[in-house]
Structure 1
Amino acid sequence: MVADTPPRLCVFDAYGTLFDVAAAARRAAAEPGRAALAERWPRLAELWRLKQLQYTWLRAITGAHADFGTVTGDGLDWALEATGLAGDAELRARLLALYRELDAYPEVPAVLDALRAGGRGTAILSNGSPEMLAAAVGSAGLADRLDAVLSVEEVGIFKPARAVYDLVGAHFATAPDEVLFVSANGWDAASAAAYGFRTVWVNRAGDPVDRLPARPQHVAPDLSDVPRLAGL
């Protein structure tokens, strides 16, 4: 593809990119009778996400794959213990239920609508299991705004394995440079850039760029600029 030719397809990571991974802990903390969680939910959410990601990497390296629901539960168990909230089975169940109904970031629907109106394909490529992704997409009302939802369960290994990024070309018959890949995970955006995708890192926290062999082509504070970066 000629370098200045717009991408045909915009592919989004799901968790942390389209969906706010802190929403489950934040919403649970606002419910009656959860004073302890209300004091600790930001730390719980941070540790939960950290361990969830670390466990995906370790399982990918060791070949001990489990679906994302299992990894999410394992990460939550660690975070609950670390924040002194372990032992409350009802709280654990509630947090995992809310994780299936995460809030989409406010700009998401308009961004997807703009891309589709401009003739760009839209898809998710995620570590999430098909069941978890279907629940999140349905809860957020995004199903009609996506051409496909691709899960790592098709290949049985988590990102950033190249086999995961291969799923996009296999499904859409696209070359890597026809794809604009968008992720809020710096390591994911960098790995996708090394794979050959055009990339956008959604850096909501203003973090430094990861020191990896490749870097994302674009860095943005949220998703609002994605249509312009897709040539619209």
Structure 2
Amino acid sequence: MTITTCVFDAYGTLFDVAAAARIAAAEPGRDALAGAWPQIARDWRLKQLQYTWLRAVADAHADFWDVTADGLDYALEAAGLDGDASLRQRLLDLYWELPAYPEVPQMLAALKASGRRVAILSNGSPGMLDGAVKSAGVGAHLDAVLSVESVGVFKPHRKVYELVGEQFGTEPEEVLFVSSNGWDAAGAAGFGFRTVWVNRAGEPVDRLPWRPHAQLPDLTTIPDLAEVGL
């Protein structure tokens, strides 16, 4: 079936989640962060994701901003920097201003020019997503920004993927879903979407009941895949 709609995860897929720690580390007076920021960025992201999974299975949903702050607190403590309140606040502030990956604006513009609908489907809360979209300057290329807050559970629960059909009236096989998270791309494949895992780090495929239909090192060729289908 023809791909009519392209849907993207936000954090780590369109927006560079490591940028907050990287930018802060380059600022004057951040010597303690300079050598620790890569590990802090990794721990922050990992705990942010793990906490969404645990909350989903425990039926203990929370705003993604709270989960993001909890993940940062873990990462800072692991690095021995949990006593620096100004650093914590700076990192949280920067998370509202994450840049898009370099190829994102042109890729989204090409999809829109092809006549396809383009959307974000994210764990992020509406306020966070609005800030990220505005900061990255990609709002003109999007038809919708969908948040899990409307269903009260994090990915990969199928209720989240159902939001796409409710928004656009699509059948799952019309949708190309793109995520930097292998488990997200796998979950979406199990739902019935055609899926791409943007595997920037060259990681192994997760051992799950479903697998992404394709892997890419970045988002550059997504318009080509949408054209030929998967």
TM-score, length of structure 1 as denominator length: 0.97
> What's 2:29 paired with?
33
Which whole-Å deviations, capped at 9, do the CAs of 1:113-157 have from their partners, x for residues lacking one?
000000111000000000000000000001111000000000000
Q: CA deviation at 1:6?
A: 2.5
Q: CA deviation at 1:29?
A: 0.4
SS at the partner of 1:231?
helix
The structure 1 residue matched to 2:180, chosen from 180, 184, 187, is 184
Which consecutive residues of structure 2, in runs of 5 or more, have no partner in the other structure?
none
> What's 1:231 paired with?
227
Matches for 1:117-128 after TM superposition, within 5 Å? 117-128=113-124
| Residue 220 (1) aligns with residue 220 (2) | no
Instruction: Find runs of 4+ consecutive structure 1 residues off by over 3 angstroms.
Output: none
Which amino acid counterpart does residue 88 of structure 1 have in structure 2?
D
Which amino acid counterpart does residue 33 of structure 1 have in structure 2?
G
> What's 2:202 paired with?
206
Which consecutive residues of structure 1, in runs of 5 or more, have no partner in the other structure?
none
Q: Identity, % of aligned pairs?
A: 70
| Residue 12 (1) aligns with residue 28 (2) | no
Counterpart CA distance in 2 for 1:182 and 1:218 is: 10
Q: CA deviation at 1:225?
A: 1.1
| Residue 84 (1) aligns with residue 47 (2) | no
| Residue 95 (1) aligns with residue 91 (2) | yes
Counterpart CA distance in 2 for 1:12 and 1:77 is: 27
Counterpart CA distance in 1 for 2:110 and 2:202 is: 25
> What's 1:63 paired with?
59
Counterpart CA distance in 2 for 1:114 and 1:128 is: 25
Q: CA deviation at 1:87?
A: 1.2
> What's 2:48 paired with?
52
Which whole-Å deviations, capped at 9, do the CAs of 1:60-107 have from their partners, x for residues lacking one?
000111000000000000000000110111111110010011010000
Which amino acid counterpart does residue 146 of structure 2 have in structure 1?
L
Counterpart CA distance in 2 for 1:79 and 1:22 is: 13
Counterpart CA distance in 2 for 1:123 and 1:78 is: 31
TM-score, length of structure 2 as denominator length: 0.98
